[in-house]
Each structure stands twice: as structure tokens, then as C-alpha cells.
Structure 1
Amino acid sequence: MVTKRKQKTLTAGRTYYKQFNEEIRACIEDGVNHFILKDCNGQRYIGTALEGDIKFDIYGVPGQDLAAFMRGPYIRIHNNAQDGVGNTMDGGRIVIEGLAGDVIGYAMRGGDIFIQGDVGYRVGIHMKAYLDHQPKIVVGGKAGDFLGEYMAGGIILLLGMFSDKPDAPVAGRSLGTGMHGGVIYVRGEVPEYQLGPGLQAQPVDSDDLEIIKELVEDYAKELKLDSKEIMDESFVKIRPFSHRPYGNLYVAC
């Protein structure tokens, strides 16, 4: 079933974020389900807690906590994004055609976040799967420190291809520190010293490759990239060695 779209163009400019979000919500109550947001200039909380089949095309740079607690909408950012994208997101899809900041997908429980370029620190921290919800983050560039920290579920795919930091490692320090669920896939190799305590990068198997291929094809389609070029390299996976990585730090009473 094709959803009939009622389109609305809004210009953010210097509008205060609270006023701008109130305007968006008023339009939704009036039946608008496709927004073109122009000249975004750091306005926070766009798309926060929205549900249902709503589409956003965002031009400019939206502010922090975009799509926090979101459940369903589709958001495409035709530029870069700030910190906290997809904070505790339950469902939907976010496509970022540029770079993104820190703590992307914090405690994310469902949906997809596709980023073409680099990301900052602590991306995917506390990600978790819930029932049949499997959150997914794909990063086309490189990542900062603590990627997948305390990860409890879901998939992070780090490609390291579309980066403006050619001399940097694919990820920063302490990749996967404290993770106790989910999986991180990395295109190419990961230096062992970049990994969190007790973690190892292992070769992927045929089941992993099927998961990666499906995710890459989806990602490449969204960003008009060559999926075959992305797949033309080996991948490794990082999984938790224990569901209680710090269990030995505590003494039973």
C-alpha cells in the first residue's frame, strides 16, 4: 500500500528549536506526513518521540537528539548531523549523507541508522535488541573511541571507506568495551590494541556474510553507492566473550 503524502516545506533559519518542533507537530495534526525542512541550524529534538509513517527531508545541520525515542518515521539528512541521533530509538530509519557526531544510537532498540561518513565517540553505546527488534547502525567512514561500548544487542557495521581521515585507524580506542551482546562487523582489519579488554576480531562465517551482504545492499541503495565495491573486501566480527564481562569484579554475598 502506497501512502498518500501531504507535503509541507518549513524553513528553520534562526527559529528557536521549541517553536520549530511545535510547528512540526501542529502540521502533523493537520495531516502532513512529508516534511521538507530547509536551512536547519542546530535546532534540537527534531522528530523526537514521533510515531507512524512520516517522512522528513532535512537540509542544513539539525541539532542534538534528532529522532530520540522515534518509532517509525523515515528521516534523510542531506548534510551532517550533530550528537545523539537516534537516542533510545525504537523504530524507523535515519539516513545521513555526511558525518555524524558522538553517541549515535544511544540505547537504540530498533530501526536503522545509515551514515555515509565518519562518526564520533561512543556510537552504539548500550544498543540492545528487544524481541524481534534488531537495531542496526552502518557507518561508511571511521569511528571514534568506544564504538559499541556496553553493547547488549543489535548490529554495528563499520566500513571505514568514506572517511576524511585517511591516516586514522578504522576505529578509535577501546572498541566494544564492556559489550555483552550483539555483534560488530568491520570491513578489513582491526588492530588488536584498538579492541576493548578481552575482545578479539574473528573471521566472519557464511551466515555472517549473508547478514552483511543484505545490510550492505540496503545501505548502498539508500546512499547510491556500489554494494559490490563494499563487499569486495574481507570482514571481521567482534562478539562479546561473556554476557557478564565484568562479573568477576563483584563478590557474591
Structure 2
Amino acid sequence: MGKKVEIDAAGVYYRQLNEQIHTALENGADTVEIFNIRGQRYIGNAVEGDVRFILHGVPGQDLGAFMRGPAIRVEGNAQDGVGNTMDDGTIVINGMAGDVLGYAMRGGRILVRSDVGYRVGIHMKAYMDKSPVIVAGGKAGDFLGEYMAGGAIILLGMDTSKPEAPITGRSLGTGMHGGVIYIRGTVPRYQLGPGLHFEPLTPEDTAFITKHVRDFCTEFGMDAAMVLDADFAKVKPFSHRPYGNMYVGTN
């Protein structure tokens, strides 16, 4: 049977909090539940293996950065940089998340119940047999999927604090040269970054969306059939080198 450790983060500086976390893991804990988080940074940073974190409050920047394997669940919102360069594992946020979520992410999955900020999925990439996935239940800010090179983003546009806003902001997928973005509903063509286009869904796309949306709905107690009862737009780049003609000596 696993060992669980509980930590009260109230008034604890982020360095000391992370020292407590690593001490718990070194002493054999496989579940760490932390209460009263108020912006402490780097929780779960570079942690490997079959470890579970349950976080109450609002974790600070770079939650789960560089992690390889753990499962993190946040009962609340999260700040910027969630999953920065994460290699594997799962992050579930029962609320909103900030900017640059999934920066350079190369494996694992991030599920966010509500809205996400700017430049989500920037520099996301597939790595060997790994292909990262981000599912957000709300809306996204500008530059979603910027410079994306692999993996997938699914944006549902449902649970949002901005009902009047478009489902994505400006310059969707600017510089994107790999991977795919699926959006529930319609997106005006003018919102696409240069070199992107809409493609019809294939049976493989439908199966992929169905799997991840069902998992998403299980995490947040939603009706998957209702969420899937809608059209999805598929956004892909025309080329894997969208700016190749800008450089001297390239074709």
C-alpha cells in the first residue's frame, strides 16, 4: 500500500515547500496532498516516476515543469507555465490556467476545465514515440499553438468566464509547422495564422477527439455525449517549413 503525505503550504516560501515535497518523496511517499497553496512556484518540477500530487489552492509558475511521469491534480486555478517542457505524465486543472501552458511540451497530457491564456502550446513537439495533448474546456487567448511542431490541442470553448469572446484570440497557430489543433465549433478564417488551413476530419481524428474528450469529461464530471455532439474544426499547417522562403539559399 502506498504512502501518503499531507503538507500545509500556508505561509511557506516556495523553496521550503519544494524541499518538503522532495523530502517526502525521498522517504517513500507516492501521494503528496498540499493545502493552502498561494502562488508557490515549481511544484512537481523535474519529479519522475509514479507519483500523485493533489493540490488545493493556486499553484504558481512552472507547475510540473520538466516532470516525467507524475499525475498532478489542481483543485483550483493555476498560473503561467504549467507543464513547461514536461516529458510525460498528466496534469489536471479543475479551473483556469494562465499563459504559455505546455511550453515545449514533448509528452504527456494536460487537461484544463475552463479557460487558458496566451501562447498555449507554444513550441509543443512530438518526441520519439511521445505525442503531447492539451485539452481545454474553455477559450484561449492569442497565439494558440504558436510555433507548434507536434502533438495536439483540443479546445472546447464551453466552460468559460468570457462568453462574449471568440473561442480563440488572434493569430491562431502562427508559425505552426507540425501537430494539429481541433476546435469545437467554428473559427473565422481570418483568425488563422499564415500558412494554416482547415482540413476535414478523418475517422482517426474522430477517434482521437472522442478518446480525449471522454477522459476529460470523466475528470470533470461532464456529459461526454453532449460535448461530442458538435462539429470540430481541424487546423493544420500547409508546410513543415512555413518560413523557408524567408532564408537565403532555401527552396
Tell whether 2:132 aligns with 1:138: no
Question: How do 1:205-216 residues align onto structure 2 when only pairs under 5 Å count?
Answer: 205-216=202-213
Distance 1:210 1:234 in 2: 14
Query: Any conservation in 2 of the 1:175–1:195 contact (CA below 8 Å)?
Result: yes
Tell whether 2:145 aligns with 1:119: no
Match of 1:222 in 2: 219
> Which of residues 89, 93, 98 in structure 2 aligns to 1:92?
89
1:201 positional shift: 2.4
Secondary structure of the 2:11 match is coil
Post-superposition CA distance 1:121-143 (Å, at most 9, x none): 00000000011101000010000
Match of 2:195 in 1: 198
Match of 2:47 in 1: 50
Tell whether 2:174 aligns with 1:174: no
Secondary structure of the 1:207 match is helix
Distance 2:198 2:55 in 1: 37
Gaps of at least 5 residues in structure 1 are none
Tell whether 2:104 aligns with 1:104: no
Distance 2:238 2:197 in 1: 9
Distance 1:179 1:210 in 2: 23
1:221 positional shift: 1.1
Question: How do 1:24-35 residues align onto structure 2 when only pairs under 5 Å count?
Answer: 24-35=21-32
Distance 1:136 1:45 in 2: 21
Distance 1:212 1:252 in 2: 40
Tell whether 2:238 aligns with 1:249: no
Query: Any conservation in 1 of the 2:137–2:155 contact (CA below 8 Å)?
Result: yes
Gaps of at least 5 residues in structure 2 are none
- Identity across aligned pairs (percent)? 60
Distance 2:108 2:231 in 1: 26
Query: Any conservation in 2 of the 1:51–1:71 contact (CA below 8 Å)?
Result: yes
Distance 1:213 1:223 in 2: 15
> RMSD of aligned C-alpha atoms?
0.9
Structure 1-normalised TM-score? 0.97
1:199 positional shift: 1.6
1:203 positional shift: 2.8
1:66 positional shift: 0.5
1:155 positional shift: 0.5
1:53 positional shift: 0.6
